[in-house]
Chain A
Amino acid sequence: DIQMTQSPASLSASLGETVSIECLASEGISNDLAWYQQKSGKSPQLLIYAASRLQDGVPSRFSGSGSGTRYSLKISGMQPEDEADYFCQQSYKYPYTFGAGTKLELK
């Protein structure tokens, strides 16, 4: 199985601060990488697909980048509503696998 190592496990950011979350795949995944946001007690919501494509309706402060085995999610200007857990997911090979998640809190 492809292992997705996500870092950091948690972070705290001030209002307006730019934050980055990384995912490292155990092998190349050809940009078959999605990012999801999960708020407390809710289901995950798609933010980014194909490593860098913004899902319709997602604020433009969210962006994704990367290639090969290294991918990142950036939030340019932390907002209170961005407080959530974030997960990466690869769909390059079965079984699909997720990162362990990053808990983002507002400082």
Chain B
Amino acid sequence: QVQLQQSGTELVKPASSVKISCKASGYTFTSNYMHWIRQQPGNGLEWIGWIYPGNGNTKYNQKFDGKATLTADKSSSTAYMQLSSLTSEDSAVYFCAREQIYYYDGYYHVGVMDAWGQGASVTVSS
């Protein structure tokens, strides 16, 4: 079965960086887009961007340009997200999620996230 195992809780200082991992298993890692989503305390979900591990292509939400950097290591089936210049506003739970493309009604439906990691909590505090 598809599993996405994320790294654990991080407590980091303001202005520093943090790198979160997401290890995939149960499917061909290079065949599906991997998305990253932020959930701030008590808030909803924000889409950060995706990476296609097959070729390393990325797409970012403009809001996270310069804040998040997405990479992937095919040899270990692991996706990474580095967050830089951290502030208290970056304190949140970060999820990775696999995209599945569905063909229905004569149309390919993209951007559907059918499997999620358990989330990685990042707290930014001095």
Residues of A within 8 A of B (CB): 30-32, 34, 36, 42-46, 49-50, 53, 55, 87, 89, 91, 94-101
Which residues of chain A come closer than 8 Å to B63, judged between CB atoms? Answer: 95
Judge whether B47 and A98 touch: CB under 8 Å: yes
Which residues of chain A come closer than 8 Å to B59, judged between CB atoms? Answer: 94
What separation, in Å, do the CA atoms of A89 and B95 have in the docked complex? 15
What separation, in Å, do the CA atoms of A45 and B119 have in the docked complex? 12
What separation, in Å, do the CA atoms of A87 and B61 have in the docked complex? 19
Decide if B89 is an interface residue (CB 8 Å cutoff): no
Chain B interface mostly: strand
Judge whether A100 and B104 touch: CB under 8 Å: no
From known contacts A43-B95, A44-B95, infer whether A50 and B47 are also in contact, taking CB-CB under 8 Å.
no
Judge whether B45 and A49 touch: CB under 8 Å: no
Which residues of chain B come closer than 8 Å to A45, judged between CB atoms? Answer: 116
Contact among B45, B112, B117 for A98, CB-based, below 8 A: B45
Contact among B44, B61, B119 for A101, CB-based, below 8 A: B44
Which residues of chain B come closer than 8 Å to A34, judged between CB atoms? Answer: 111-113
The 4 closest A-B pairs by CB, nearest first: A91-B111, A95-B61, A43-B116, A96-B47
Judge whether A49 and B61 touch: CB under 8 Å: no
Please name 19 further chain A to chain B contacts, defined as beta carbons within 8 Å, in addition to the given A87-B45, A101-B44, sorted by A numbering: A31-B109, A43-B95, A43-B116, A44-B45, A44-B95, A44-B97, A45-B116, A46-B113, A46-B114, A49-B102, A50-B109, A55-B114, A89-B113, A91-B109, A91-B110, A95-B61, A96-B111, A98-B46, A99-B44
